[in-house]
Amino acid sequence: MKIHARGHENVRATHAKTLEITGEQDITPRATCVIGVGAALDGRELALLRGPVAVRLAAGPHVATGTAVVNPHHAVTDRLVLRRSDHGSPDTFAVRSTLVASALGPEFVAALADPANEVTLTLTEAGPRQPLVLVNRRDQPEPQGRTGLLWRAAAASVDLDAARVPDDARTALAEGGVVAAVTSGPLEGRSQAAGAWLAEAAGLGARFEVLGDATGTVPALLAAGLPVAPAVGLGRVDRRALAGAPCADLLRSAAVPVVFRTTGADLGVLGEVLAGSFGERRIAVPDGRPDLGHGVTWLPLPEAVESFGSDDEGVFVLAPPERAAWNVDLRPLLPLLVEQGVTARTLSTVLRPFGISRRDLYDALGDKARKQAEK
């Protein structure tokens, strides 16, 4: 998309951390980050941009380019700000910008200071874009704001209560598009086809936003490629809570995923809580991308503790101890799932975080069911 503005005699363009274009008609010399005034900002077009963007600034014969990442919390006002940092305030359109005001040369700044010159800021999605699945209850109103615009512009729709997922939903996932999914009740009761599709979406790196879920528990499980149930949700916990009973007992022995919100600094206490099994456990951590929805990355627990920022807070999904899922003996259910059309690939994706390999799966299925699952 293109944003058109004009130059202004008070443009200084000396700010080393930001670049701004504003709808205001006048600025003072103190506005050192502003490079254009009188801009008309299209809220709908801005809201539909996601992920990495290419930035192109032009005035007269001068052109400067850079890259940035769209801030998912951006609220369209009469100003559009690009920041070098990760500071995602509502007036920040994009973060991690490589183009800031002070990067422009003297001749370029002179062109921006001429009110007769048109100033054009072009923003183009640079990808790769991650698929985004927005989930809403059928009895709830459509979402508003930026999420609502993405919902209404979705590339495909999915009824999670239906027995079949439409082909265009799979196409949308493959192309990194937005899918609007509706359900009439809790996600635990979704159709079998929908469950398999959600796991497939996670396998393709989809991000998930469950509207009305303030805890982030359900979208974190979906992004991790896991069923919503069974799982244990601890809510928000600190180091002391994680180390004390009953949390520590659940973290050590629960046969289902354990979901909790904490900071990177408090995550380190798991080394003490899990002791000898610490090095063997896996955890899904926020992927760190500034984008709408929840996205996760599976890591060995020691690596997660080492790499996750100490001040950062996120929702984590701790996988059960290795092979703990067999404690509830899922094996008799596997041939039944295969008979209902669930593929071995889908079962493998869903069960992998439980420590169950594809070889374990095939051993449990037996020859006949295995051949059917591979079709």
- For 36-68, letters b (16+ CB in 10 Å) and e give bbbbebeeeebbbbbbbbebbbbbbebebebeb
Domain termination site, one of 125, 147, 178? 125
Q: Please compute the mean of the pLDDT values over residues 75-100 and round it to a whole number.
A: 92
* Model pLDDT, residue 354: 59
Q: What share of the chain is helix, strand, coil (3-state, %, to 5)?
A: 35, 25, 40
Judge whether 220 lies within some domain: no
| Co-location of 115 and 6 in the same domain | yes
| Co-location of 253 and 363 in the same domain | no
**Relative orientation angle of helices 358-373 and 344-351, to the nearest 10 degrees:** 160
| Co-location of 38 and 114 in the same domain | yes
CATH number (domain holding residue 278): 3.30.950.10
In total, the chain counts a number of residues equal to 375
Give the residues across from 208 on adjacent strands.
Answer: 133, 294
Q: Please compute the mean of the pLDDT values over residues 9-29 and round it to a whole number.
A: 97
| Co-location of 22 and 89 in the same domain | yes
- Site of tokens 């439980």: 354
DSSP letter, residue 130: P
CA 212 to chain centre: 16
Residue 329: count other Cβ atoms within 10 Å of its Cβ: 9
| Co-location of 89 and 149 in the same domain | no
The total number of structural domains in the chain stands at 4
d(CA 238, CA 157): 38
Ramachandran angles phi, psi of 251, nearest 5°: -60, -35
Handedness of CA 236, 289, 306, 310 (dihedral sign): negative
pLDDT higher than 70, residue 175: yes
Domain termination site, one of 282, 302, 321? 321
| Co-location of 193 and 279 in the same domain | no
pLDDT digit string, tens, across residues 308-331:
877 789 999 999 987 544 455 666
* Model pLDDT, residue 235: 94
pLDDT higher than 60, residue 32: yes
d(CA 75, CA 148): 13
Domain termination site, one of 321, 346, 362? 321
d(CA 49, CA 336): 43
Domain that holds residue 63: 2-125
d(CA 297, CA 304): 9
pLDDT higher than 60, residue 333: yes
* Model pLDDT, residue 325: 43
* Model pLDDT, residue 324: 43
Put residue 366 in one of left, alpha, beta given phi > 0 → left and psi -120 to 50 → alpha: left
**Cis peptide leading into residue 246 (ω within 30°):** yes
What is the percentage of the chain residues whose pLDDT exceeds 90? 64
Please give the C-alpha separations between residue 11 and each of 111, 115, 142, 328, in angstroms, as whole numbers.
9, 10, 42, 68
Average pLDDT, the chain: 89
Please give the C-alpha separations between residue 222 and each of 146, 226, 261, 351, in angstroms, as whole numbers.
22, 5, 16, 13
| Co-location of 281 and 340 in the same domain | no
Tokens matching residue 191: 């159709």
Kindly give, in sequence order, each residue whose CB lies less than 8 Å from that of residue 327, ignoring residues fewer than 6 positions away: 255
pLDDT higher than 90, residue 105: yes
* Model pLDDT, residue 191: 77
Highest mean pLDDT of the ranges 106-120, 224-238, 340-354:
106-120
Judge whether 338 lies within some domain: yes
Nearest Cα neighbor of 353 from 309, 322, 326, 328 is 322
pLDDT digit string, tens, across residues 193-246:
888 899 999 999 999 999 988 899 999 999 999 989 889 999 999 999 999 989
Please give the C-alpha separations between residue 252 and each of 92, 316, 359, in angstroms, as whole numbers.
42, 15, 25
Quote the pTM value: 0.80
- CB–CB of 63/105 below 8 Å? no
d(CA 77, CA 1): 17
